Every structure is written in C-alpha cells, then in structure tokens.
Chain A
Amino acid sequence: MARIPEVARHRVPPQATTTGHREGGEGVVSLRRAAVRVGGRTLWSGVDLEVGAGEFTAVLGPNGVGKSTLIKVVLGILPTAAGEVRVLGEAPGRAGHRIGYLPQRRNVDPSLRIRGIDVVRMGLDGDRWGVPLPLPLRFSARRRAARDRIAEVIELVGASAYARRPLGECSGGQQQRLLIAQALVRGPELLLLDEPLDSLDLSHQGGVAALLGRICRAEGVSVVMVAHDVNPILPWLDRVLYLAEGGAAAGPPQQVITTRTLSRLYGAPVEVLRAGDGRLVVVGGGHGTEGGGGHGHHHELD
C-alpha cells in the first residue's frame, strides 16, 4: 500500500491540461516480459507493453485470460511472477496518487443514498482522516480550490445536471460518467479503466467512449482500458494489447486485430472481418472448432 507523501496527498491537482504531454524518454506504463500467477496458475507471461503519454490503449481478450489482473498489476495490488513493470517511472503501487482507477462493477445499488458529487469528492480527499469541518468556504482556500476542481471535472464529464442526485438514482451511463469524474478529479497522468462500457446500453457506450477519447486527446491523460468490445473505442485507439491463452500481442490495432495474429493467439483459425461501417467482427473456427474458453462462432471482438 503506497504511502503517499503528505504534500502530494493534500494538494489540489493542477488543471489537467497543464500536465499535458510529458517530454521525452520513459513510457507511462511499461511491461517487459511480465508474467503473473494467480492461485498457482500462470495467467499470462511474456507480456511486453509500452504506453506513451497521452496514448489510448485497449486491453482485449477472452474472459478469464487476466485482463483485470493486468490492471491490478499496474496498480501494484498484485505482484508479477516474472519480468519488469514500471508505472510512471516508478515501481507499481508507488505512483497511486497520479493514477485514476475505475474498477469493473455492476450497477450501483439503487438504494445508495449518497450524491454523485460526494462520490466524486471521495476521489479527491477520501483517503484523508477525519471529517471535513463545516467552516464557511471563505475561511479555507483549500476548500474553495477543492470545490472548484470538483465542479470543473463534473463539467468535463457532462454530469452537472445530475451530480447532486443520489448516485443510486442515476442511470448506468450517468453513474459511469460520475465515476470517471471521481477517477479524474486529482488530475491523474494515467487512467486505468476496467470494462467501463460493460454495464451500459449501446447508446450510452458511444457517449462514454467519446468522453474517454476526448479526455485522452484534449487532457493528455494516458488511458489503459480493459474492453469487452473494441468497436466503441476503435476511433481513439493508439494501441492494443491482446491477451489470449496462446500468448499476448501488442501494437497498433490494425496490426494486432488481424486474422493471422488472432489465429496464432487462440491457437485455432480465427477470422477478422471488417463490417461496412468499419466495425471489426471476429469469427472463430472455420471447421466448427472453437477458439477456446467457451467462445461462440460469431461474436464481436471479446
């Protein structure tokens, strides 16, 4: 568990735009020949990945292959079994205050009677001891700065209209926007998202994906996102890490999501088709063989 220096924890982050693109050298996330074991089973090994500043990276692959585990390794919650992992130039877990994290989740319980804005605020100072003192705002510059930053980030995700409603009463898409605001409120340099579109219906998927693309492009935040379906985020992707039973492949999407690469990863014939609207469809098995792991024949990239 990272002990964050007092100053860093208490400061209100600078405007996200000023963090911008970091100059030169080291990547934001860097995995070299990394492997991970959970419960005695090696989930993946030999994974190489370089995520640069302001890049949008998707982590793809079938269920159970260890996509969420990769996020936990980058967060420093799980150790690697082999290889090297560097996050923002430090060992995983050492740069927690510079990372925004959105875990995989089902919908928030409808009975949760806490406002969205309070949940966003937890991202800013939720780890501090004590209770916020009910002093008038004019006595505390820090509280004014905190209030402004929260309002700014809620505006950024377009949640101003419903931020003061209990989170449980918001729709899935509204909740996801507020939770993205929570992850962004400290002005992180890296945003880790675990299937943020999973619980949303199609119309909201496009909106939240566009928001993430905009955060990445306009705010210069590096995004690493575990995804079930690559298509909603395809327009913004710089890089793809595809994990499968047979190994891993990283690179630009048009190089990784190909019939050849995926057939190699699955160890079975897999065909990648491009639909008329540019969407990718992965079709498994030419002769009735399945790609493994309970994969159907016709499915979107999952």
Chain B
Amino acid sequence: MSVFTAFDHPYFTHALLAGSGIAAAAGLVGYFLVLRAQVFTGDALGHVAFTGGLAALAFGYDLRLGLFAATVVFAVLIGALGSRGRSDDVAIGSVFAWILGLGAFFLTLYSTRGAAHGTAGVSVLFGSIFGLSAGQAKVALLAAAAICAAVALLARPLLFASVDEAVATARGVPVRALGLAFLVLVGACAAEATQAVGSLLSLGLLAAPAGAAHLLTARPYHALALSAGLAVAEMWAGLGLSYAAPRLPPSFTILAVATAVYLATLVTVRPRRGRTVTSRAVRGNVPGWPRL
C-alpha cells in the first residue's frame, strides 16, 4: 500500500482537511499558551472537552455542541475565577478533577444505553480523526479558520499584554478582556483538537509545536507562523504514517511526530541561559500591582 493511494479514500481527505485546520489553529493558540505559561490551562480545558462531549452524547445532542459549549463556558469561568484574565492554578486544579469525574458519570450514562455506545469514551479521549464525515470535516475546518482569524486579529495587543502587562495597561490595551478572549480561543481550540487527537492528547498539539517554535526563533511573529507551520506539517506526517501503518492509530503518530520534533529542537537548540520554555515563562517580569 502506497501513501499515494491515500487520497483515493474520502476518510483520508477529510482527515487531512480537518486536521490541517485544527493543527494550524492549535499552533497559533499554542504559541501564546506557551508564552503566557498557561499550558496547564490548555490541559484542563481538554478534560472539560471530554466531559462536555460525553454530556452531549448522554443527553442526545451532537458531540461537537457539547465540546464547544463546555470548553468555551469553562474558559470564561476559569478566566473569571483567576485574576486579571489569567487563569489561576488553584482555580483550575480544584475544578477540573471534579469535571473529569463528571465525564466518567456521563460516559456510564451513555454507554449503558446501548452496546454500540461502548467505544464513545475511547474516541472522545483519544480522537478518531479517520472517522470524520465530509460534513464534520467541513465544520471543523471552518471553526479552525475562525480561530486562526481571531488569533491574527488579537495577535499584536495580546503579545504586548502577555509580555508586558503593566505597560500595556498604561497604553490602553484592554489586558483583561484580551486574556479572557484568549482563554475562549484556547477552549475552542481544545474542542477542535479533541475531534482530531482526543481530549487527553489535545495538549500535545497545543504545546509541542509551539514549544519548538519558541526555541527556534526569538522573533515573535516568525515563531507564531512557525508554530502553526510545524503543527500542520506534524499533522500531515502523522496522518501519512498512520495510513501507511494502519496498526498505529493517527493520534499516536501525530503526537509521536510532534514530540519527536520538539525533543529534536530541544537537543539541537540550546538557549544560552535559562531553562526550557515550558516553565512559567513571563509571570516573573510582571509585578503585581498595586504593590507598594
């Protein structure tokens, strides 16, 4: 079986279209997620996506409705609980374990309805990108395009607010509103990525390409584009690998490629001083105000 026969199968074309869009959105959002040291928030929203998706299935609604509604609502909640539009570790930690438990409850509720429903939990957790229909792929692609457009619109003030909150505030940048809008984008992105690689693994798509891009260039807009480009390339490579070796699930191959690229970057590019980028990147330079 050759990779070139892949395009004869509609499921592969759908996966490639939806996957490209989802990866691009995850790469763009991921760049800011790493910059703002909010990777953990992305993880929490992945768990929320799991619960939202299964809640929708349990109550007989479309899976995607549950994914997006849950992640966007919780993104707003996390932003509101945390201070100044940045999410707070304690706020996330105390909520998201409970959310995951709730997901287990909805999973039981749904899977006891019928034998065919037994695999729903697995496909939400680990993704089923080769199972997307033409309609699902189209919606995923459109949603991804909307996320990308929103990131492009917010990019410059969001960068300013992420790097230098106090000065941005003084310059009239709506720092808090931007933080909240960004969390909503992270939520939407987690819902999107769940359809591709599953809610548990969506974090990899958000963090790995962005982490590599941060290491590869210190020019913010180059890094932003590179992060999206890497994510899309890793998605293509992962889909191709999984097609060529059907025993390997696409979620595994996509994230294996993404992680390999990140590790290769980590080994070859060494920041001259300091640690890797996934640490609490920028918080250290933002003074809590009013601090007298």
B286 contacts partner chain A, Cβ-Cβ < 8 Å: yes
List of B residues within 8 angstroms of A109 by Cβ = 274, 279-285
Interface residues of A in 118-148 (CB under 8 A from B): 118-119, 122-123, 125-132, 134
In the assembled complex, the Cα of A182 lies from the Cα of B168 at a distance in Å of: 11
Contact A114 B292 (CB under 8 A): no
In the assembled complex, the Cα of A131 lies from the Cα of B172 at a distance in Å of: 18
Stretch of B70-78, B84-92, B216-224 with 4 or more beta carbons under 8 angstroms from chain A: B216-224
A56 contacts partner chain B, Cβ-Cβ < 8 Å: no
Contact B279 A111 (CB under 8 A): yes
In the assembled complex, the Cα of A169 lies from the Cα of B272 at a distance in Å of: 7
Point out the residue from A102, A119, A127, A169 that lies within 8 Å of B171, measured CB to CB: A127
In the assembled complex, the Cα of A223 lies from the Cα of B214 at a distance in Å of: 36
Chain B residue with the shortest CB-CB distance to A68? B292
Contact A99 B172 (CB under 8 A): no
List of B residues within 8 angstroms of A105 by Cβ = 166, 285-287
Contact A132-B221, Cβ < 8 Å, known A105-B286, A123-B167, A166-B271 = yes
Which size bracket describes the interface of A in this complex?
35 or more
Kindly provide the distance from the CB of B56 to the nearest chain A CB, expressed in whole angstroms. 34
Q: 1/0 per residue B259-284: CB within 8 Å of A?
A: 00000000000011111110111111
In the assembled complex, the Cα of A179 lies from the Cα of B287 at a distance in Å of: 15
Interface residues of B in 102-147 (CB under 8 A from A): none
Contact A96 B274 (CB under 8 A): no
List of B residues within 8 angstroms of A165 by Cβ = 218
A274 contacts partner chain B, Cβ-Cβ < 8 Å: no
A4 contacts partner chain B, Cβ-Cβ < 8 Å: yes
Contact A122-B163, Cβ < 8 Å, known A77-B169, A127-B171, A132-B156 = yes
A38 contacts partner chain B, Cβ-Cβ < 8 Å: yes
List of A residues within 8 angstroms of B286 by Cβ = 105
Contact B156 A106 (CB under 8 A): no
Contact A111-B172, Cβ < 8 Å, known A122-B164, A123-B167 = no
Kindly provide the distance from the CB of B13 to the nearest chain A CB, expressed in whole angstroms. 30
Chain B residue with the shortest CB-CB distance to A110? B274
Chain B residue with the shortest CB-CB distance to A129? B153
Contact B168 A127 (CB under 8 A): yes
Point out the residue from A4, A113, A131 that lies within 8 Å of B214, measured CB to CB: A113
In the assembled complex, the Cα of A97 lies from the Cα of B166 at a distance in Å of: 15
List of A residues within 8 angstroms of B290 by Cβ = 38, 68-69, 72, 78
In the assembled complex, the Cα of A194 lies from the Cα of B286 at a distance in Å of: 13
Contact B172 A130 (CB under 8 A): no
B289 contacts partner chain A, Cβ-Cβ < 8 Å: yes
A residues contacting B by CB (< 8 A) are: 1-4, 38, 43, 63-69, 72, 75, 77-78, 96-97, 99, 101-115, 118-119, 122-123, 125-132, 134, 165-166, 168-169, 182-183
Sample of 21 A–B contacts (CB below 8 Å): A1-B172, A67-B292, A68-B291, A68-B292, A72-B290, A77-B170, A96-B170, A102-B167, A105-B166, A105-B286, A110-B275, A112-B285, A113-B277, A119-B163, A119-B164, A122-B163, A123-B167, A126-B157, A127-B168, A131-B152, A169-B274
B residues contacting A by CB (< 8 A) are: 35, 152-157, 159-160, 163-164, 166-174, 214-215, 217-221, 223-224, 271-277, 279-287, 289-292
